[in-house]
Structure 1
Amino acid sequence: MYHYMTVASTSQRKPKGRYHHGDLREALIEAALAEVASNGPEAVSFSALARQLEVSQAAPYRHFADCDMLLAAAATRAFADFNAHLQAVVARRRKGSDLARMAHAYVAFGLRHTGTYRLMYASRHLADAPIDSPLHQAAEAGFLYFMSLLDVGEAGAERGEKRRARVAIKLLAGLHGVVMMAEQGLLPPRVQKVTMAELVDDLVRDAETAMEQTA
């Protein structure tokens, strides 16, 4: 049985506290991710991070023009880490199809790490980033991996890829909706943990059925 946490986000990283090494850019990204995980993207500020890392108020500007650029770098790192996490979950081959394991891991992450998830999928940073930016590339890598888990069967290559992309978008939209509705308390009271898992299974089953229709 899949288990989902509906509590507030938990930090994926420990705040660094004092700054003890020479890579301030990396320290800022790590500290920003820790703050995002604990309190959400809106809580990140250069002044607070500078105090935490015990550097001057001007020091962060040597690496990022503003806080938005820092958060874009943090989102890029979050997408890369998230993609690696999903691939590791799929590789364990414990229960269900690869697509089902990925879908359940996606929702579980979104419910456990709401601040990080909002930075990735519910903030303006991805939409505002240039299409060829590292942030878009990291997000696209995750989507392409998601697509790769959809079997095109006997369909021709071009037709199969178009269908795969459409089905992947629909599935991701459904999973994203589940995460955001749960985080905002909009799911009906009857939807408890076990039925949420069943809802994810239904979304996966619909996607797999749609792909079978391409044959």
Structure 2
Amino acid sequence: MTMNMINTNTSYHHGNLRQELMALAEQHLVNDGIGELSLRALAREIGVSQTAPYRHFKDKNALLAALATEGFKRFFDYCIPSEQEARADISLLYFGLGYVKFAKAHTEMFHLMFGPVLQPRNEYPELFSAGREAIYKVRAGVERGFKTGELRELDDAASIAHTVWGAVHGVATLMLDHADTYGYHRDVDLQAEKSLRMMIAGLCTDPTEISQLPTTLTPYPPEE
């Protein structure tokens, strides 16, 4: 859910400045991009001293890292159906569908989370930890599939998890950046689902469950 900006000149004194800076920065991220974003400009817009934001963020990238970390928390809501699904193969499909749905609903945040701005990630411990949690969710699903025999052990669990991540991210990126050619002969959402189904089916010992599922699965939070 997108944070709502609270505009009050006394917010800093009530301890809300950090949240207010993040909310306003996200508005600018969505509407204008991050090129012109600065802590001093945000302070002027909120109505506090230009040095006040530095009590919470050492620089603009620290603020963006906090935003990206918040983005991962929202993304984890889209992972809930995957984690609740008993079958490992369908769980991976749900992860992929949730991933592309999140990317479509929160495009600017998605680009911030996975783009080149906040590199190297280990300079931002909370963001780095959130990213690791995301890939661990995939790896846990793969390991579960090995135990139940639903997934083929083509390689170790970590390698397969990263392969799934790469394929899913590729689908999401094509949807966002090349929708005019990706799925040009059909609805782009349907094409994304077909791509994910085929990728997951290649990992399955028996792809029947994946192929027999109804199309246009939507066990995710509604569009915001």
Q: Same fold (TM over 0.5)?
A: yes
Identical aligned residues as a percent: 24
Q: Is structure 2 residue 206 aligned with structure 1 residue 187?
A: no
Instruction: Give the paired residue count.
Output: 194
Matched, 1:12 2:6: no
**Aligned residue for 1:89?**
81
Name the SS for the 2:202 alignment partner: helix
Q: Distance in 1 between matches of 2:198 and 2:94?
A: 13
Structure with higher RCO (Cα < 8 A, 6+ apart): 1
Contact 1:41–1:115 under 8 Å retained in 2: no
**Residue aligning to 1:5:** none
Cα distance, 1:39 vs. partner? 3.9
**Residues in 2 aligned to 1:206 and 1:40: alpha-carbon distance in whole angstroms:** 38
**How far 1:205 sits from its partner (Å)?**
1.9
5 Å-filtered alignment, 1:1-215, equals 12-18=2-8, 20=11, 21-42=14-35, 44-83=37-76, 85-90=77-82, 93=85, 97-125=90-118, 127-130=119-122, 133-150=125-142, 151-153=145-147, 163-185=156-178, 186-192=181-187, 193-208=189-204
Q: Structure 1: which 5+ runs fail to align?
A: 1-10, 211-215
* 2: CA distance, partners of 1:55 / 1:34: 18
- Following the alignment from structure 1 to structure 2, what is the Cα–Cα distance between the partners of residues 91 and 152? 16
Mark the CA change 1:88 to 1:197 in structure 2 (over 3 Å): closer, same or farther.
same
User: Superposition RMSD on alpha carbons, in Å?
Assistant: 3.1
Deviations 1:147-170 (A, max 9, x none): 111112379xxxx7x611111111
Q: By how many angstroms is 1:129 displaced?
A: 2.8
Give 1 or 2 for the bigger CA radius of gyration. 2
Q: Deviations over 1:108-146 (max 9, x none)?
A: 111121100001012331x32326811111110111011
Q: Is the 8 A contact 1:15 1:35 kept in 2?
A: no
2:212 corresponds to: none
CA distance in structure 1 between the partners assigned to 2:32 and 2:202 by the alignment: 35
How big is the shift at 1:93?
4.9
In 1, the alpha carbon distance for the partners of 2:121 and 2:40 equals 24
Aligned equivalents of 1:195 and 1:168: distance in 2?
22
Alignment CA distance shift 1:190-1:15 (3 Å): farther
Cα deviation, residue 202, structure 1: 1.4
State TM-score, norm by structure 1.
0.76
